[in-house]
Chain A
Amino acid sequence: MDMTRKKKSSLKLNQSLLLVFVIFGLIIIASIVNPRFIRISNLVNILQQISVLGIIACGVGMLLIAGQIDISVGAQVSLMGILMAMIIERGFKIPPDAANAWMTAWTIPFAILATLVIGAFLGLFTGFIVIHSRASSFIVTLALGSVYKGLALLISKGSSFSLYGKFELLGRGQILNGLPVSIIFFVLIVALTYVLLKYTRYGRFLYSIGGNRKAAFVSGINTTRVTMRGFISVGLLNALAALILISRVGTALATTADAYSLDALAAIVVGGVSITGGKGTAMSIFLGVLLIGLVGNALVVMNINPYLRGVAIGTIIIISVTFGEMSENKR
């Protein structure tokens, strides 16, 4: 009894521990090359930079645990960014002496609410198409990503919307002497993901559907409904990510968030969420996001060509997936 317990815990440690080692190794090397790396301000900066990726990755990660993939997230975030920026721009354009000038004050709350509603709707729509087309979610969301991106370009006519000074709280705001609001959201979402996955029936159903969809169905789980909720959560978290991202960047463009689709997937796979579903934790998502964020920052700080980021991240994904596969097959 003791033996298998030990065996299990040591195996479990393997994946997360490896990541922790890699992360610490990276921090140490980067700090030696450039001591500025380890400064609190830089670390806060890194966390702030990865908060958007982290929020997106939590949604996609939970979905991947249920065995579904969504690679339209980047386009979803871009589309919502455009819509939100347009709402805000309109709201602030109302002349102060117009009859509906009172609306200006309500622009920001309305834009936030509208973005969340649009996010939920995009998730619902994506989920609906994936479930009812019965095709693989990879192909369907690849196509939908193209649709969303096209819509974003159409609506924005390819131009950008500037929001400087109008909406800064979520992306640039700080509380308690320099703690960025976006980091608080990031940490809260990770905590929420942790609780959902570990302590709720919904979380357990996600794992079961991802682990064996047929067995979950025969056990009475409404696989369609649970999968749909997974997609809606992705949409909602994307909306939050769009709010923070646009607020931080200050401009919205139809291609602003393009890279997030693959970065989010990379982060959760590096973290150890099984690409076929059924396995992974909030901690693995968090560590994966942290690693991806650190790599980008470390390259800049170490004065290495930042274009190497793509090569480095790709290499890390391949190594971690190979390692995951190996530790899986050892059994």
Chain B
Amino acid sequence: MDSRPILQAVQICKWYPGVQALDCIDFELEEGEVHALVGQNGAGKSTLVEIIAGSIPFDTGNLIIDGSTCLNWGPAQAIEFGVQTVHQENQLVEEISVAENIFLYNLPRTKYGFVNLSHCIEKADELLGALGIDVSSDRKVSSLTFVEKKLISIAKAFSLKAKILILDEPTASLDEHGKNVLFELIRRYSKMGLSTIYISHHLKEIFEICERVTVFKDGQRVSTSRVADTDIHSIVHEMIGKSSDKLFKRSIKPLDRSAAAETLNFSHFSRDSAVKDVSFSIRAGEIYGLAGLVGSGRTELANLIFGIDRKDSGTVLLKDKDITPKSPYDAVRKGFGFLTEDRKDSGLVLVHSVKDNISLVNLVKKPLGDGFLRLGKEEDETKIVSDSLDVKTPSVHQRVINLSGGNQQKVVLGKWLFAESNIIIFDEPTVGIDVGSKSDIYKLIDRLAAEGKFIIIISSDNPELVSVCDRIGIMRFGELVKELEGTEISEEHILQYSLGVEAVQVQGL
């Protein structure tokens, strides 16, 4: 093929405070090709496509589109050139017709300047017919099925004379038929010169539809190869990279399974299709990891356990005693603690002091009618907690908003420890935290396990799970598909089961 590149990203770098999202990325998209972009969560795929779509600026490097270097590349320029993105979530306007959605940015008008709806529907039907999508364009978007909405989103991208189409997990929740229609469309338009960037966790699809695949890891490009020259397990290997040294060494590791430690049983947690009949158990002093792709139901499971969301079923037994939380209040009273995924959104009262944040759950837990607050005592006690976690703050009166991410996370932990929580769920405990504080957090988790607490860690950072956990449960599509233990624990295994490619034998195992 003597294709010419329609897009070249040359040495593109992007920094966010504390992290380098893209580290001198080279990427090339040829005219008429379908190019897959794969990598683990946080590898930098989304950052790159957002840069291409003009929605975020890059720091250094060059973006060459159609042979010329782009200066001032923004969303307007991107759309003008013909870059179209179909996002994973539905981005159509629900309350208007399919036709109006398709031509939203360029609605045909009558000579008086009003919207010419009949002409609009006519044009839209024409387009949908040409694309082979069997949806009549005068229907309201809210009446469409999920699959139809996805197809309409794609049709909308085509209508805008796209030259570069970015598809972000397009087949998520598409059935086999929908997928075939989509692939057929992509093939047909590729022949006519459309270039597609295809992001997907479903590696098998990549071999069906893509010509080349680029693997990202930690903000760097690992490889670009023709799909004909590679296979699933070399891609998986590249996504994981060279196994680095363990991030962290546990102080006490192998758990004595024969020891009669207390067992905490979680059984039959379910809610709709988000969480499907998940059961597992933990022993006191054990660190249990929950792995899986984003959206596999891990956070949803934690919300069910903690009584935040309504559940269809699910019980927690501690030595045969039922301690299932009915609400967060109940969970707090029964010794549960939950460090949520987004500490700013649901973990901390940012505008309040370290002291007020640390003492909050403890106040909830105290019996009613406990009299007036003793502010002096509260200050002394929260200071002890803050010091024991080594929170770097000038005083406990400092507002949490002024602390670094790592120290904020310690404050959230302090809140649960001050309330003497015994069962602690960490959801993405080290996201947005610098390396130094990360190892502090691991040490603290390790210390809590040594004290005999029950620990659950949800993380998308697989190396983190591998180095910190005693056992790891892997979730996919709401189910707990596999538990790894002892020597089975490896990044390869986690990724295989997360992606559902367990049938493939990975070399060297």
Nearest-CB residue, chain A, relative to B363: A201
Please, could you name 10 A-B residue pairs with CB atoms under 8 Å apart, sorted by A?
Answer: A4-B394, A199-B372, A199-B375, A200-B372, A217-B346, A218-B340, A219-B332, A220-B327, A220-B329, A220-B333
Whether the Cβ atoms of B349 and A211 lie closer than 8 Å is yes
Cβ < 8 Å to B, chain A residues 173-187: none
A190-228: CB near B (< 8 Å → 1, else 0) gives: 000001001111001101100110111111111000000
The listed residue with most A CB atoms (<10 A of its CB), out of B360, B365, B397, is B360
B347 and A218 form a contact (CB under 8 A): yes
Q: Which of A5, A204, A331 touches B373 (beta carbons < 8 Å)?
A: A204
Measured in the bound complex, the distance between the Cα atoms of B332 and A218 in whole Å is 9
Q: How far is the CA of A28 from the CA of B327 in the complex (A)?
A: 56
Over the window 346-390 of chain B, the binary record of Cβ atoms lying under 8 Å from chain A Cβ atoms (1 yes, 0 no) is 111111100010011101111000101101000000000000000
**Residue A279 interfacial (CB < 8 Å):** yes
| Closest A residue by C-beta to B361 | A219
Q: Chain A contacts of B328 at CB under 8 A?
A: 217-221
Please provide the 9 A-B residue pairs with the shortest distance between their CB atoms, ordered closest to farther.
Answer: A220-B332, A211-B349, A4-B394, A214-B346, A220-B364, A199-B372, A220-B329, A212-B349, A1-B394
User: Which residues on the B side are within 8 Å of A215 (C-beta)?
Assistant: 345-349
Alpha-carbon distance A123/B383, docked complex (angstroms): 39
Q: CB within 8 Å of A: which of B479-507?
A: none
Chain B residues with CB under 8 Å of A216's CB are 349, 360
- Measured between alpha carbons, how far is A104 from B310 in the docked complex, in Å? 55
* A8 interfacial by beta-carbon distance below 8 Å: yes
Q: Does B46 contact A (CB under 8 A)?
A: no
Is A3 an interface position by the 8 A CB rule? yes
Q: Which residue of A lies closest to B332 (CB)?
A: A220
Query: Which residues of B are at the interface with A, using a C-beta cutoff of 8 A?
Result: 306, 308, 327-329, 331-333, 338, 340, 345-352, 356, 359-361, 363-366, 370, 372-373, 375, 394-395, 397-398, 401-402, 415
Determine whether A278 belongs to the interface, using a CB cutoff of 8 Å to chain B.
yes
Please state if A208 and B373 are interface contacts (CB–CB under 8 Å).
no
Q: Is the CB of A204 within 8 A of B345?
A: no
Q: Give the residue among A4, A220, A331 with the most B Cβ atoms within 10 A.
A: A220
Contact B352 A218, beta carbon cutoff 8 Å: no
Of residues 222 through 271 on chain A, the ones whose CB sits less than 8 Å from some CB of chain B are 222
Q: Are B402 and A331 in contact (CB under 8 A)?
A: yes
Closest chain A residue to B393 by CB distance? A4
Total CB contacts across the A-B interface at under 8 A: 93
Residue of A nearest to B339 (CB): A218
Contacts A199-B372, A218-B306, A331-B401 known; 5 new A-B pairs at CB < 8 A: A4-B395, A195-B372, A201-B366, A218-B340, A220-B327
In contact, A208 and B346 (Cβ under 8 angstroms): no
Q: Which chain B residue shows the least CB distance to A8? A: B397
Q: How far is the CA of A198 from the CA of B373 in the complex (A)?
A: 8
Kindly state the separation between the CA atoms of A280 and B88 in the bound complex, as whole angstroms: 42
Chain A residues with CB under 8 Å of B394's CB are 1, 3-5
Across the interface, which residues of A come within 8 angstroms of B349, CB to CB? 207-208, 211-212, 215-216, 278
- Please name the residue on chain B nearest to A210 by beta carbon: B349
List chain A residues, Cβ under 8 A from B401. 331
Q: Mark A1-37, 1 if CB is under 8 A from B, else 0.
A: 1011100100000000000000000000000000000
Q: Which of A3, A218, A221 makes the CB contact (< 8 A) with B308?
A: A218
A1-B394, A207-B356, A220-B361 known; A214 and B345 CB under 8 Å?
A: yes
| Chain B, residue nearest A277 (CB) | B351
Instruction: Please name all residues of chain B whose beta carbon is closer than 8 Å to the beta carbon of A4 when the two chains form the complex.
Output: 394-395, 398
The answer to whether B363 and A204 touch across the interface, beta carbons within 8 angstroms, is: yes
CB distance from A238 to the nearest CB of B (A): 26
CA distance A1 to B338 in the complex (A): 31
Residue from the list B333, B351, B395 in contact with A1, Cβ < 8 A: B395
Instruction: List the A residue with the shortest CB-CB distance to B397.
Output: A8
Tell me the bound Cα distance from A278 to B332 in angstroms.
22
Question: Could you say which residues of chain B place their CB within 8 Å of the CB of A204?
Answer: 356, 359-360, 363, 373
Within 8 Å CB of B398, what residues of A?
Answer: 4, 8
